[in-house]
């Protein structure tokens, strides 16, 4: 599997994980991911993220969003 496919799979897994954890629809989470450029962030940081579990990556995303002044109430 090439790296772009792996990145897409990671973005999808994190979208679903966030939806479950934040108790939000996939569409709502996708809107937040787009607003805060999370998909691009995952793409840019994949070299580091692929060594971590999805829970750890989602925690990093939550911290990034908090720094950008959006609290997902988790």
CA 55 to CA 69: how far, in whole Å? 21
What is the per-residue pLDDT across 14-30, written as a single tens digit (0 to 9) for each?
999 999 999 999 999 99
Confidence at 71, pLDDT banded by 50, 70, 90: low
Summarize the confidence of residues 49-60 as an average pLDDT.
Answer: 94
What is the per-residue pLDDT across 35-51, written as a single tens digit (0 to 9) for each?
999 999 999 999 999 89
Quick one: tokens of 20?
């479950």
In Å, what is the CA distance from 41 to each residue of 23, 48, 49, 61? 22, 11, 10, 9
Q: Measured in Å, how far apart are the chain's first and last C-alpha atoms?
A: 33
């Amino acid at each position: 599997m090439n790296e772009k496919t792996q990145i897409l799979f990671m973005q999808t897994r994190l979208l679903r994980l966030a939806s479950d954890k934040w108790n939000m629809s996939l569409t709502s989470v996708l809107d937040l991911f787009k607003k805060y450029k999370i998909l691009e962030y995952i793409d840019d940081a994949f070299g580091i993220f692929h060594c971590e579990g999805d829970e750890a990556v989602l925690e990093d995303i939550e911290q990034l969003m908090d720094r950008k002044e959006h609290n997902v109430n988790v």
